Structure 1
Amino acid sequence: MKEFWDERFKQTEYIYGQEPNTFLKSQLVKFTKGKILFPLEGEGRNACFAASLGFIVDAFDFSEAGKHKALELATRKNLAINYSISKAEDYDFGTEIYDYIVLIYAHLNPSIRPKIHQKIVNALKPNGRVIIEAFHPKQLKNNYTSGGPKSLDMLYTTKLLKNDFSDLNILLAEEIETELNEGNYHKGKAFVSRFIGQK
């Protein structure tokens, strides 16, 4: 899997574009600045956007090629992000460190997903929020061609997210058809789950 992502991120283009995810952008501009973590951040578009707003940004991914492009993007924009190389299951999320943790298409294998999501809850400060946009099972069932895992058990319903984040107060949980325009790999109609929970 690491080889797959390294190969994909080695392309000259930013495969998901250089602009932030639209849903995330709509939320971050409303939030009070604080410390924010981007797990599985890839090429850095969302982390760089948060940094441009004045957030203190940590990010990680297991792809060296992803990190290289993220830091390149940050340098070009004159921004500071702290980017680590790690698998999700090996990352030290810590306890009550972050005001926000953002999972944008950070689809985890079901064998580790509940444990990682619990670590995310623990890593949030009191009143901290998790912000998620992920592909819904209808992405596969309806044969959308705008990206995402090709395995149903890697896709997220709001019911699954409510269950994984049952310790949080739900601020938003919706399943919605949307139009993606995020580089060449997230383009066209998509069916996604969106979730915001607060500690």
Structure 2
Amino acid sequence: MLLEIPQHPQLTTTQFKKAYKNNITVIDTRNKEDYGKGILPAFDISENGKKKATRLSEQSHVTIDYKVTEALDFKSNRGFDVIGLIYTHFPSKIRQQTFEYLQQFLKVGGTIIFEGFSKAQLGNASGGPKDKKMLFSIEEIKMEFPEIEFNLLKEEVIELSEGNYHCGTASVIRFVGIKKT
């Protein structure tokens, strides 16, 4: 999913800022003054993802312009200050191309926030792709995001509680970085 101002799946705004050592500004989308016009673009390939995002945005009094589309079909005439790539797993044959395409929407100096399942996730019952090539390693992240200066890049074990199919121990890669060029 791509969001101009992402909601982190595990942390409140305060926890998120603390976890990332206040290296970035986190905009609390519950306050419309924080995000200008109040319409956040987002996309995902899942109709169910759209339903969940719509429900959450309504609860938070946030308006989203949510498209169900393939990543390489996403269009926007604007650049973004912040892009969130949360559990964006692509087939290996299009992964590099997709990440390059999505990074073009991030302004120079903009922040990218990423969380995805690591290769160590295989064998965990908490969700994620079963194809190891769709999972991430730190080395792959560095290669696939060459224009990003990482403020935080780590692999860690977390506890997911995101519904019936994403619950339990999970191994993830998280990063926060700034677009250099």
Return the TM-score normalized by structure 2: 0.78
After TM superposition, give the deviation of residue 175 of structure 1 in Å. 1.0
Give the direction of change, closer, same or farther, for the CA distance of 1:59–1:133 in structure 2 (3 Å limit). Answer: same
Tell me, in whole angstroms, the C-alpha distance in 1 between the residues paired with 2:59 and 2:26: 22
Unaligned runs of 5+ in 1: 1-18, 35-49
**Match for residue 25 of structure 2 among 32, 36, 42:** 32
**Match for residue 71 of structure 2 among 71, 88, 91:** 88
Residue 109 of structure 1 aligns to which amino acid in structure 2? Answer: P
Deviation per CA, 1:22-68: give whole Å up to 9, x if none. Answer: 2585436854367xxxxxxxxxxxxxxx5325345210123334324
Unaligned runs of 5+ in 2: 1-6
Matches within 5 A, 1:20-169: 20-22=8-10, 25=13, 26-27=15-16, 30=22, 31-32=24-25, 51-53=29-31, 54-55=34-35, 57-93=40-76, 97-140=79-122, 143-169=123-149
Cα-Cα RMSD:
2.4
Contact 1:180 1:189 in 2 (8 A): yes
Tell me, in whole angstroms, the C-alpha distance in 2 between the residues paired with 1:165 and 1:100: 15
Contact 2:57 2:63 in 1 (8 A): yes
What does residue 193 of structure 1 align with? 173
- SS of 2:30's partner is helix
Give the direction of change, closer, same or farther, for the CA distance of 1:69–1:134 in structure 2 (3 Å limit). Answer: closer
Residue 169 of structure 1 aligns to which amino acid in structure 2? Answer: E
After TM superposition, give the deviation of residue 162 of structure 1 in Å. 0.7
Give the direction of change, closer, same or farther, for the CA distance of 1:94–1:33 in structure 2 (3 Å limit). Answer: farther
Identity %: 34
Tell me, in whole angstroms, the C-alpha distance in 1 between the residues paired with 2:127 and 2:66: 25
After TM superposition, give the deviation of residue 21 of structure 1 in Å. 0.9
Contact 1:165 1:197 in 2 (8 A): no
